[in-house]
Amino acid sequence: MKFGKYLAGSGAAEIQSSFVNAVSETLQNGGAAFHTTHWSVVMTAQGRSPAAQEALEKLCRGYWLPLYAFVRREGHGPEDAKDLTQEFFARLLERRDFDAVRREKGRLRSYLLVALKHFLSNERHRASAIKRGHGQQPISLDEIIAHQRNELEPAESVTAEQIYERRWALTVLDQVLARLGDEFRAAEKAPLFERLKELLADEPGRPTQAEIACELGMTENAVKQAFHRLRERYRQILREEIAHTVATPAEIEDELRHLIAVLRT
């Protein structure tokens, strides 16, 4: 089952087939060491400090679109879905719902989906309408929506859970590419990154390494080595991004396998 362009990220969907291969190689080769502090982005959100606010903002940026897509598929209109998603994150901070999170809970992806379902169930049973968000926005939606201008209208045959999983997977890819791009730009190699990113797409019409070398004034061997380093760094960042959302090292591999399954459906 293909989900359609409404689920595509700004760049992630373009390299989906290559991503599946990269994940497989990551599983085979291992990667960066697991640090328990990766889970602290969730645990930090328990308090009301500036650090807690920053932690929640990170969660909003990483999970806003997957959760929004789920709410849309549950039958809510675009504006109502935005309000509900925003209120969901606002309440997580206001009520310190992360107090209930413990490392044995495992995957942040699963925790947030269960929490959202519970929130929506409660909302359906509210006796009176309450202004959502209480005038506070945990994160600016303008930036998120501007970043994702693709239609988010769900196909009739796709379940809300499938939409959530797919959007989550593509969001992870977007985060990996964004970090790679930042690193290349910091090294003043942005043009090289933009061209090498096209090689990741593994699609007809992409430039050859020889063409990139000629365009950028490099040797073909230098381009080959740069692309190899990019793929290696891609796999490392991928593992780091997954590690942020699980409780134990063993769960990294499980989540990577889950990403493969989601992207292949």
CA angle 198, 220, 229 (to 5 degrees): 60
Average pLDDT over residues 24-42: 52
Q: What percent of the chain has pLDDT over 70?
A: 64
- The structure's pTM equals 0.71
Residue 20: pLDDT band with limits 50, 70, 90: low
The count of residues in the chain is 265
The burial of 201, by beta-carbon neighbours within 10 Å (0-12 exposed, 13-18 middle, 19 or more buried), is given as: middle
Residue 204 has pLDDT above 60, yes or no: yes
- The predicted-structure confidence for 99-115, as pLDDT tens digits, reads as follows 566 544 568 888 889 88
**Full domain range(s) for residue 233:** 5-264
Distance CA 213, CA 80 (A): 50
Task: Tell me the two tokens of residue 248.
Answer: 């134990």
Distance CA 114, CA 49 (A): 26
pLDDT given at position 33? 46
pLDDT given at position 17? 53
Number of structural domains, the chain?
A: 1
pLDDT given at position 182? 97
Count of Cβ atoms closer than 10 Å to residue 204 Cβ:
5
CA angle 42, 47, 53 (to 5 degrees): 70
- The predicted-structure confidence for 60-101, as pLDDT tens digits, reads as follows 778 899 999 999 999 888 999 999 998 888 887 677 666 566
pLDDT given at position 248? 77
- What is the end-to-end Cα distance of the chain in Å, rounded? 5
**Which range, 81-90, 170-179, 211-220, has the best average confidence (pLDDT)?**
211-220
Whole-number average pLDDT of the chain: 76
Residue 120 near residue 159, CB atoms below 8 Å: no
pLDDT given at position 230? 95
Q: When comparing pLDDT for 21 and 195, which is higher?
A: 195
pLDDT given at position 99? 59
